[in-house]
Amino acid sequence: MVTYSQKVMEHFMNPRNVGEIEDADGIGEVGNPICGDMMTFYIKVEDNKIKDIKFKTFGCGAAIAVSSMVSEMAKGKTIEEALKITNKSVAEELGGLPKNKLHCSNLGADALHKAIENYLSKKSRGEGRKES
């Protein structure tokens, strides 16, 4: 029997920021072929800050809790701050994860970083920039 922290259970039962952002500035998708978990993160960036973040996760309770926690940790942060979110910091925020579920925390941080990389590469190519 796997025991989860109360925080993991809370984020699994009531995940934050679930969904999709239609005109996302960055999208990051990762999957783990071993366990079948899939995560997609969508970010909206304004003034170098993550103004909005949503995710869609297909996976176990830990994967859903991790996605929810990553979205909470990244929301409102600058791009630089969000890039500092690591799988270790996610697991710590959740009050720890069972050893056999630690790979889920890797996915969350990786998906976020991929969404940021996607945003930065679009920005450097000058795509989707709205001049105000």
Catalytic residue among 35, 38, 60, 79: 35
Catalytic residue among 82, 104, 107, 112: 104
Closest CA to 101 of 6, 46, 34: 34
Catalytic, 60? Answer: no
Catalytic, 35? Answer: yes
List the strands of the sheet with 26-32, edge to edge.
Answer: 26-32, 37-46, 49-58
Closest CA to 116 of 50, 51, 19: 50
The SS3 assignment for 15 reads coil
What is the Cα–Cα distance from 1 to 130, expressed in whole angstroms? 51
DSSP codes, 72-114? HHHTT-BHHHHHT--HHHHHHHTT---GGGHHHHHHHHHHHHH
**Which positions are annotated as active-site residues?**
35, 104
